[in-house]
Amino acid sequence: MKLEQCIELAHGAGGKSSRRLIEQVILAECRNPLLEPLADAAIIEWDKTRYALTTDSYVVSPLAFPGGSIGELAVNGTVNDLAVSGAKPLVILSSWILEAGLSMEVFQREVKAMARAAKAASVIIAGGDTKVVEHGKGDGLYITTTGYGLVEPGVNLGPHRVEVGDKILLSGPIGDHGITVLLARGEIELEATLKTDSRPLWPMIEPMIRLEPSAIKWMRDPTRGGLASVLNELAHDIGFGVMIEEELIPIRQEVRGACEILGLDPLHIASEGQFVAVVDQKKAVDFQKLLNDIPGGEEARIIGVISDKPSGKVVTLSAYGGSRMVDMLVGDPLPRIC
Amino acid sequence: MQYVDEFRDSRLIKKTIETIQQLADPTVHYRIMEVCGGHTFSIYRFGLHALIPSNVELIHGPGCPVCVLPMGRIDEGLRIAEDPKVILTAFGDMMRVPGQTGSPLVLKAKGRDIRMVYSPLDSLKLAKEHPKKEVVFFAIGFETTAPATALTLLKAQEWGIKNFSVFCNHVLILPAIRAILDSPDLRLDGFIGPGHVSTVIGCRPYAFVAQNYKKPIVISGFEPLDILESILRILRQLKEKKSEVENQYGRVVPWEGNRTALKLLERVFELRSYFEWRGLGFIAQSALKIKKEFSYWDAELRFGTQGITLTDPKAAQCGEVLKGVLKPYQCKLFGRSCNPEHPVGALMVSSEGACAAYFHHVYQKTEL
Amino acid sequence: MCLAIPGKIVEMDPYDQMPFIQTALVEVSSVRRRINIELIKDEEPKPGDWVLIHVGFALAKISEREAQDQLRILSMLGEDKQAMEELQGYSMEEEKKT
């Protein structure tokens, strides 16, 4: 498919447009073996040790919302990209782009939030940069964080490891973050007691690795674009089918309610504190039980299985036998009335 | 009772499907049209098309109020947003629909003030909050949505809000059904009738379908159990050689409709002598326009319309898909030059569009 | 057509003050929104009632009795010839008699 003439908002939504932008511009110009997997982190081997390196930008509006703010997201998002690459997060660098006129109190608040989140995630903010742009050019504050971690021995993740029969494990309820931020924008006037699920994932992933690193085949965190997007990327990369059971996916009442009212699909809504893993079927139940015993992992569930067909697609099954394909988002999820 | 999960109950769904299988005569090829885009969406979202016997074919009707708007009409609305004083407001459904120079979302990215609203009253509120701007509401929808616009216009008048107007594109379902019945291209055995439109207009107006055209029509809800039960009822009528109007959605649809809403429509709107529908051509008295008493808030008068007519690209077969003559995948552009990211017509991006329903949810060629 | 969903009225808003529109706080699966109820005012909605919501307006009250009836009949399908006969009851002819 041809590339658009201009950058559109859809390019940032984590769906098909984003993927195309990355493949047709970035990968096309910079192709090399480290970039090609287009995974959440680059894995670099040096002297028999593997390091993971990742970077991410945070451009959220509003800056603060129930349960958190951009500062937390900026730390957790990046340490989580390391965690789902099987790497223990160690160090973060942070770059801040500040809009002239931003309240100093807000900036202090966000840096405090980052410091707190870094402590909770056991990482050090080792350096960074600040720039100021003219008023009107920055949405208040943009943060980019780069993370660096040590890949645990025995970890071997990637589409090449996934086999038919492997199970799909989800760490907890999806969609909390996306709906929280949507409601916090105030345009829709829905009331709900929801807060962001932003949190570091290493405390849940590390025990799984300790248990049996080779039984974990692939991991991602379903942020922008939601569970549907990461599963579609998986299906596309492995060439097999990804079958999930609708009723098994944990979703909070409030997320369901907001999605019902607005006509949104929870599978397309971002989470900031969940991960999805493809694991060996023999170990799947053990992993789920392990997570269920960790605070915050009580709702972890096996939600599906890798199947031989339909190739490259994600399908969800309902209890009464109905099935449908789950497509990747085009652009941002839009409320509908029809 | 929560009124959602109960109507997705597996046990009841399985029983209903079994009964459908018993009722369907294997020597007959049934062609049932679901008029409403919301039903098309539900059918594919819940995978119902694959659960009914293969000789029961569901034909998708033109009940998608965005899909049936000709591109020229969309451009007319987008042209109003060119004025820097204007804030154009519309439902989420409209945001990706392609005009000639781009969809509202694309134009918004290029700097035009186009905002999404959940309710027309939100649009009126925006007008109160931005007294120096002109807020225009791009109204779409069938009779389900028109009362909301009517009430909003009434409030605009009551509160004396001057910087607000409505670009009215409300269309009516009955003329569309009649046009389908009169179309020589289609042979249909029965109709799954629009459930939510009927909460406003009631069930009596559909009498002509059963009595004059002798086709069963069952007014249906939108959950899997509702749609399946409606199919069951249609098959039962066909078996008994009956043609009646049935109300499957009795928990919500009153036979007489919503009198308050109907009175409101009469107060604020009148019928246009004709209106162009994509796929169905010009249909007389099939759309609403704002009455003289409220003409101050009519965006067409305030901004002037240019009567832009644009024909769809020759290869696009939006019209035939809307009428049910072609299935989405039979259009030569489906999945190729027309897809949700680069749609040629609204059917590919409207949440109720048949093409979108197929593109996003159908994965097996065997189902087609 | 269109997306309309069931919600429960949790609280009625006072009508006797600006801006003089009749609204109620409605809950859908633990999420709440203020909904305009002027279109169903003749049905005298009150807290506890379930309504059908579309674009911020309540279009109709939902009848629990009818919903239960429907589910009951469908659950008898296949088991009871009477159920099939009962299923035949919702046509225009029948309505005229009631």
DSSP of A256-302: HHHHHHHT--GGGS--SS--EEEE-TTTHHHHHHHHHTSTT-TT-EE
- Quick one: C52 and C18 in the same domain? yes
pLDDT of residue C85: 62
Task: Encode pLDDT of B83-117 as tens digits.
Answer: 899 999 999 888 888 888 888 888 888 888 999 99
Q: Which of A192-196, B73-77, B172-176, C83-87 has the lowest mean pLDDT?
A: C83-87
pLDDT band with cut points at 50, 70 and 90 for residue B193 = very high
Examine the pLDDT at B173 and tell me if it is beyond 70: yes
A6 and B47: CB-CB below 8 Å?
no
A105 at the C interface (CB within 8 A)? no
What's the gap between Cα A174 and its chain centre?
11
- Quick one: C14 and C41 in the same domain? yes
Examine the pLDDT at C89 and tell me if it is beyond 80: no
Q: Which residue has the tokens 């915050």?
A: A296
C5 and A336: CB-CB below 8 Å?
no
- Quick one: C54 and C68 in the same domain? no
Contacts of B11 in chain C (CB under 8 A): 75
CA distances from C58 to A259, B328, C47, C51 (A): 18, 34, 13, 6
Name the DSSP letter for residue A322. Answer: -
B47 and A336: CB-CB below 8 Å?
no
Contacts of C29 in chain B (CB under 8 A): 2
Contacts of C55 in chain A (CB under 8 A): 337
pLDDT of residue B365: 55
Q: Which CATH architecture has domain A37-151?
A: 2-Layer Sandwich (3.30)
Contact B279, B320 (CB under 8 A): yes
Backbone angles phi, psi at B304, to 5 degrees: 75, 135
- Quick one: C18 and C57 in the same domain? yes
pLDDT band with cut points at 50, 70 and 90 for residue B364 = low
Chain C residue with Cα closest to A253: C29
- Quick one: C56 and C10 in the same domain? yes
Q: What residues does each domain of chain A span? A: 37-151, 159-325
pLDDT of residue B309: 73
Helices B10-23, B224-239: axis angle to 10 degrees equals 20
C1 and B144: CB-CB below 8 Å?
yes
Angstrom distance (rounded) from CA A212 to CA B13: 42
The count of C-alpha atoms lying within 13 angstroms of the C-alpha of B135, restricted to the half-sphere facing its C-beta, is 26
The count of C-alpha atoms lying within 13 angstroms of the C-alpha of A42, restricted to the half-sphere facing its C-beta, is 14
Contacts of C2 in chain A (CB under 8 A): 337-338
Token readout for B324 is 């049910």
Token readout for A148 is 């660096």
Examine the pLDDT at C92 and tell me if it is beyond 70: no
Contact A254, A247 (CB under 8 A): no
Token readout for C38 is 């002027």
Q: Which amino acid is at A212?
A: E
Task: Encode pLDDT of C41-66 as tens digits.
Answer: 999 999 999 999 999 999 999 999 99
Return per-residue pLDDT of chain A as tens, 338 residues.
678 887 877 788 777 888 888 999 999 999 999 888 888 899 999 988 999 999 999 988 899 999 999 999 999 999 999 999 999 999 999 999 999 999 999 999 999 999 999 999 999 999 999 999 998 876 789 999 999 999 999 999 999 999 999 999 999 999 999 999 999 988 788 889 999 999 999 999 999 999 999 999 999 999 989 999 999 999 999 999 999 999 999 999 999 999 988 889 999 999 999 999 999 999 999 999 999 999 999 999 999 999 998 999 999 998 888 899 999 887 777 776 66
Domains along the sequence of chain B with CATH: 5-58+174-247 (3.40.50.11750), 71-173+259-303 (3.40.50.11740)
pLDDT of residue A81: 96
Burial of A193 (0-12, 13-18, 19+ CB in 10 A): exposed
C43 at the B interface (CB within 8 A)? no
Token readout for B54 is 């293969």
Where does residue A53 fall: left (phi above 0), alpha (psi -120 to 50 degrees), or beta otherwise? beta
Chain B residue with Cα closest to A318: B46
Those residues whose C-beta lies under 8 Å from the C-beta of residue B207, and which sit 6 or more positions away, are B245, C92
Q: What is the CATH number of the domain that holds C38?
A: 2.30.30.140
Angstrom distance (rounded) from CA B257 to CA B270: 19
Angstrom distance (rounded) from CA B350 to CA B124: 24
Range of the domain at C92: 64-97
- Count contacts between B and C (CB, < 8 Å): 157
Instruction: State how many domains chain C has.
Output: 2
SS3 B119: coil
Q: Which residue has the tokens 């690209």?
A: B313
Contact C83, C76 (CB under 8 A): yes
Contact A271, A175 (CB under 8 A): yes
Contacts of C55 in chain B (CB under 8 A): 91, 118-120, 141, 145, 148
pLDDT band with cut points at 50, 70 and 90 for residue B319 = confident
- Quick one: C16 and C40 in the same domain? yes
- Quick one: C13 and C56 in the same domain? yes
Those residues whose C-beta lies under 8 Å from the C-beta of residue A137, and which sit 6 or more positions away, are A99
- How far B92 CA lies from chain A's nearest CA (Å)? 5
ipTM for the complex shown:
0.90
Angstrom distance (rounded) from CA A223 to CA A230: 8
C1 and B210: CB-CB below 8 Å?
no
Token readout for B205 is 């107006």
Top CATH class of A159-325 equals alpha beta
SS3 B136: strand
Angstrom distance (rounded) from CA C91 to CA A101: 67
Token readout for B209 is 């379908």
Contacts of C28 in chain A (CB under 8 A): 257, 260-261
C29 and A338: CB-CB below 8 Å?
no
Angstrom distance (rounded) from CA C57 to CA C34: 9
A186 at the C interface (CB within 8 A)? no
Contact B50, B368 (CB under 8 A): no
B15 at the A interface (CB within 8 A)? no
Chain B residue with Cα closest to A262: B118
Order across the sheet with A323-325: list the strands.
A216-220, A276-279, A167-170, A301-307, A241-245, A314-317, A323-325
CA distances from B100 to A202, B69, B76, B322, C2 (A): 49, 13, 10, 20, 26
B236 and C88: CB-CB below 8 Å?
yes
Token readout for A78 is 């990046």
B20 at the C interface (CB within 8 A)? no
Backbone angles phi, psi at B50, to 5 degrees: -90, -10
Best CA proximity match to A13, nearest among A266, A332, A240: A332
Please, which residues 297-336 of chain A have a Cβ atom closer than 8 Å to chain C?
A: 336
Token readout for C91 is 């046509």
What's the gap between Cα B147 and its chain centre?
15
Burial of C39 (0-12, 13-18, 19+ CB in 10 A): buried
Q: Give me the residue from B64, B116, B360 closest to A335, CB to CB.
A: B116
A263 at the C interface (CB within 8 A)? yes
Query: A176, A261, A262: best mutation site toward chain C, by most C Cβ within 10 Å?
Result: A261
Those residues whose C-beta lies under 8 Å from the C-beta of residue B310, and which sit 6 or more positions away, are B70, B71, B72, B75, B100
pTM, 2 dp? 0.90
A337 and B364: CB-CB below 8 Å?
no
Contacts of A260 in chain C (CB under 8 A): 5, 28-29
Q: Give me the residue from A189, A263, A338 closest to C33, CB to CB.
A: A189
Q: Which of A146-150, A220-224, C72-76, C84-88 has the lowest mean pLDDT?
A: C84-88
Contacts of A256 in chain C (CB under 8 A): 29
Angstrom distance (rounded) from CA A89 to CA A81: 9
pLDDT band with cut points at 50, 70 and 90 for residue B350 = confident
A334 and B116: CB-CB below 8 Å?
yes
pLDDT of residue B368: 41
- Count contacts between A and B (CB, < 8 Å): 107
Burial of B365 (0-12, 13-18, 19+ CB in 10 A): exposed
A324 and B48: CB-CB below 8 Å?
no
Examine the pLDDT at C19 and tell me if it is beyond 90: no
- How far B29 CA lies from chain A's nearest CA (Å)? 22
pLDDT of residue B366: 46
Examine the pLDDT at B348 and tell me if it is beyond 90: no
- Quick one: C23 and C70 in the same domain? no
Angstrom distance (rounded) from CA C13 to CA A189: 16
Where does residue A140 fall: left (phi above 0), alpha (psi -120 to 50 degrees), or beta otherwise? left
Angstrom distance (rounded) from CA B124 to CA B166: 10
- Quick one: C38 and C75 in the same domain? no
Beta bridge partner(s), residue C8: C27, C50
